[in-house]
């Protein structure tokens, strides 16, 4: 299993958009993205902690390998 990369919030938003997610709204600095029944919120203002990155991957239905391909 590959190690998690260090990903900024902006990079994550861009990767999710490449995966087919659409930006639904933005409240303050947090971006809400949705694709079908999957919905996740990403803070684009800083690097994501490993726990936040894992939570976003779980909410979006992506795998670590899928994320690496999108980056």
| Domain range annotation of the chain | 9-62
Q: How far apart are CA 21 and CA 66, in angstroms?
A: 14
Architecture of domain 9-62: 2-Layer Sandwich (3.30)
Of 1, 2, 25, 19, residue with least CA distance to 56: 19
Residue 38 pairs with which residues in a beta bridge? 35
Of 23, 22, 31, 11, residue with least CA distance to 71: 11
pLDDT-based confidence at residue 11 (cuts at 50, 70, 90)? very high
For tokens 């919905």, the residue is 39
Query: Per-residue pLDDT tens for 13-45?
Result: 999 999 999 999 998 889 999 999 999 999 988
Say whether pLDDT at 1 is over 80. Answer: no
Write down the pTM of the prediction: 0.87
């Amino acid at each position: 299993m590959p190690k998690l990369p260090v990903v900024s919030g902006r990079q994550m938003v861009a990767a999710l958009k490449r995966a087919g997610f659409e930006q639904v709204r933005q409240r303050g600095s947090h971006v809400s993205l949705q694709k079908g029944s999957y919905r996740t919120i990403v803070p684009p203002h800083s690097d994501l902690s490993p726990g936040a990155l894992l939570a976003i991957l779980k909410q979006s239905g992506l795998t670590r390998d899928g994320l690496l391909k999108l980056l």
